[in-house]
Structure 1
């Protein structure tokens, strides 16, 4: 793989001061945000087909200008973490914009996860981006953002809004930067009991307390475990076939998300060579916006609920994907605001005490589904065409992680990347 060379690093500030009627110099982190304190920074990289070489400089200037315009509304991304680590300080606003070049072509990449080129030296910065020119005229636009300031839904909302401004000069759906959160009045013991009922079964570790003075940094490439990433492309006919199998097995209908997650849950259980009597668990994420009270549709922040589902490997492999889809469906529909608040309170307490708790389920049998085929990935057109492909950073890969993205063909298909140990 050809080397990526950094040619310019600049700080980009909002093009004008944010609207004073809605601007907040200090934004309190919600329980959602605080629960993400030790989540690694998220990277998403979009690749674009070659453009005329003479137009690249113009496109990059447009990217910088539209980024400055987008930050007027999305200004919390340009803020800093306060010294208390409980607030976003928006008194000084800017983000890092990096230009890079490579002698590689888009074809050399084959749109696969590659060694990260964003140098992330994190302390209080929330957001960085990098634009890379390929030798054949291709362009990649990458963002990295702290999970403490926003989730994937907000990340793609920003990415897509930035592109709208670059392409059309307008922002159609401005973000809501804060809302009044009503946290449940719940004793810690009750929170742990409720969290246990939705899969958060843990035991306290003898490990030393975490250092809570700074956010968790990315794992260096040299210390990362050896992992394989396999890409699967499911078109609408494949997904319809999975739904038909589930209907035949259970006489119940399930969503595309449920059947795809169920299929890869059973697939990874088989691949890992687990014992038939062993428990295999999967964590699935879903958006709380519009589901729970008072979480606005375009809220900028974290609003992701998590459900953990477990089943015996023997049942997963013998009862069919309809059985697995039914378990996932039940977990999703039964998630309410009380359960969601309980899991967040549980997670935050674990981090605030400084001790890592260990899941009773073996990590070697655990899977985590991230991203979503509903994200507007291929609508992110900056004015030089729709993306040709999307990938993610390698800084937070883990065994059993499953990434879902929409198909570039736009046929309601799904691209699935599965991360597993090679053996």
Structure 2
């Protein structure tokens, strides 16, 4: 669906710093068997007075990227492994980022003739397959960062727009750091194009976190070779349907209020007072997906969500921490029939209890347990095969500044993802382009389950009409 026109390697400029290795630690290593992050931004084409062709767009992005890599130089590195010995006996292996400026891949591609922005983000239908062709490194897992770039960027020329797809190694960092890097890159690009002074934003914190506050040591995995513990996702996965759903700020407020009133009726004043819009939306998705799956009444289900540890640690880690700093939290298992009978408010409060329990002490307890006995039988991974087919999984975050990524010719009009790390019942939460406090949800389900969800009146009463794509400016 696309043709590659050019490819280049972008490296950070030479700097008077020693060659550095950054060890992968407790939160990084579990990502090694997962796929790369694949997230992309759709833009209107820039005005010819700014960038006359998409080839000039690619040159502009590459030049700004080189400047961004001055501070974010690990992004241009590669993974290396080291064996650890006791005498002559190999007792384990560790993985580190070798920061030697090996480079980021940047590709310029063109979509088939006639493919437009409207073909990429059609309203009220499934995400079209053409989106998957806008990303590099399909099928790559994070351990492949030993040989592949840790970031590969594809700039795809459309009839009336530009799609910039980022394939990014999740063992290098989490979504908070990833989007922080993209916004720093965009800020530099914007300044270069519009003639502003070079921005002086806070640099990333590259030193890895250690529970005792000292220098972080690499995780030593109990194997002679790291591939002994790696498990690649199956290449014969069941096809899923994927939809983008819009929830306006007003719709979320009403959803939260409904949950609050249900909890007050049952006497759960504490649960009602602690409710958030995220909990209300998670409850809706969890219950309606469970109903669409037609699970047996006694089948247990959970709602899990990726959660940022930075602000929950004591002392807190700054937003600029560049690495993985996430866990998944889960509700207590509940029988499918009980989940549906207890209602929206109860499910929202259950999500709230799981989030509230994720304290500094709970994080450190999980770190200690993993450090004392790294998974020899269970490989170091968040893997699709671990996903509970009866559960619901919430990923990404509406707090990520996705629509702040203005590279100089206007903000993106939509966010889309590739096919990496997709599971039945998996969702990704995005902010809305208008910044009005709504959320967009990327939802994947088995085809028969999606068909049932499309008939769910409770669900569609909350979904808002798709937002129209604004006209290009500049």
Q: Do both proteins adopt the same fold according to a TM-score greater than 0.5, normalized to the shorter chain?
A: yes
> Matches of residues 11-90 of structure 1 in structure 2 within 5 Å?
11-17=9-15, 20=17, 25-52=20-47, 54-84=52-82, 85-90=94-99
| TM-score using structure 2 length | 0.76
Q: Kindly state the Cα deviation for residue 219 of structure 1 after the two structures are TM-superposed.
A: 5.5
TM-superposition CA deviations, 1:196-233 (whole Å, max 9, x none): xxxxxxxxxxxxxx97358665664xx23111112211
Q: Give the root-mean-square deviation of aligned CA atoms.
A: 2.7
Separation in 2, partners of 1:52, 1:346:
55
Partner of 1:383: 408
**Equivalent residue of 2:57, what SS?**
helix
Kept in 2, the 8 Å contact 1:35–1:347? The answer is no
Distance 2:345 2:402 in 1: 29
Equivalence for 1:248: 261
In the alignment, is the contact (CA less than 8 A) between 2:406 and 2:412 conserved in 1?
Answer: yes
Counterpart position of 1:160: 183
Unaligned stretches of 5+ residues in structure 1: 185-209
Moved over 6 A (4+): 356-359
Q: Say if 1:40 and 1:216, in contact at 8 Å, map to a contact too.
A: no
Unpaired segments ≥5 residues, structure 2: 83-93, 192-197, 214-224, 265-271, 449-474
Deviations 1:57-107 (A, max 9, x none): 333221001110111111111111112242111134311111111121111
After superposition, what is the alpha-carbon deviation per residue over 1:10-55, rounded to whole angstroms, capped at 9, x for unaligned? 110013427x4xx760111120111222221110010001334524
Report the count of equivalent residues: 390
Q: Which residue of 1 aligns with 2:210?
A: 181
The residue aligned with 1:298 is 320
Q: Do 1:183 and 1:341's aligned partners in 2 also have CA atoms closer than 8 Å? A: no
Contact 1:380 1:386 in 2 (8 A): yes
Report the CA distance between 1:333 and its aligned residue: 1.1
2:441 maps to 416
User: Could you tell me which residue of structure 1 aligns to residue 250 of structure 2?
Assistant: 237
1:35–1:344 distance in 2 versus 1, CA, 3 Å: farther
Q: Which digits, 9 at most, give the CA deviation of each residue in 1:327-384, with x for residues without a partner?
A: 111111111234224445666756443559999x993211110001111011110011
C-alpha contact 1:41 1:218 (8 A) present in aligned 2? no
Deviation at 1:171, TM superposition (A): 4.5
Residues in 2 aligned to 1:62 and 1:215: alpha-carbon distance in whole angstroms:
38
Checking the alignment, whether the CA contact within 8 Å between 1:99 and 1:130 is kept in structure 2 is yes
Q: 1:215 and 1:76, CA in 2 relative to 1: closer, same or farther beyond 3 A?
A: farther
Q: Does 1:135 align with 2:156?
A: no
Is 1:286 aligned to residue 310 of structure 2?
A: no
The correspondence of residues 93-104 of structure 1 with structure 2, limited to 5 A, is 93-102=102-111, 103=113, 104=115
- Aligned partners of 1:161 and 1:171 also within 8 Å: no
1:212 aligns to what? 227
- CA shift for structure 1 position 135: 2.2
Q: 1:219 to 1:61 in 2, by over 3 A?
A: farther
Instruction: Check whether the contact 2:23–2:97 (CA below 8 A) recurs between aligned residues.
Output: yes
Secondary structure of residue in 1 paired with 2:304: strand
Q: Distance in 2 between matches of 1:69 and 1:97?
A: 15
Indicate conservation of the 8 Å contact 2:8/2:105, yes or no: yes
Q: Secondary structure at the match of 1:7?
A: strand
Change (3 A) 1:233 1:117: closer
How far, CA to CA, are the matches of 2:408 and 2:387 in structure 1?
Answer: 47
Match of 2:451 in 1: none
1:155 CA displacement: 0.9
Question: 1:4 and 1:42, CA in 2 relative to 1: closer, same or farther beyond 3 A?
Answer: same
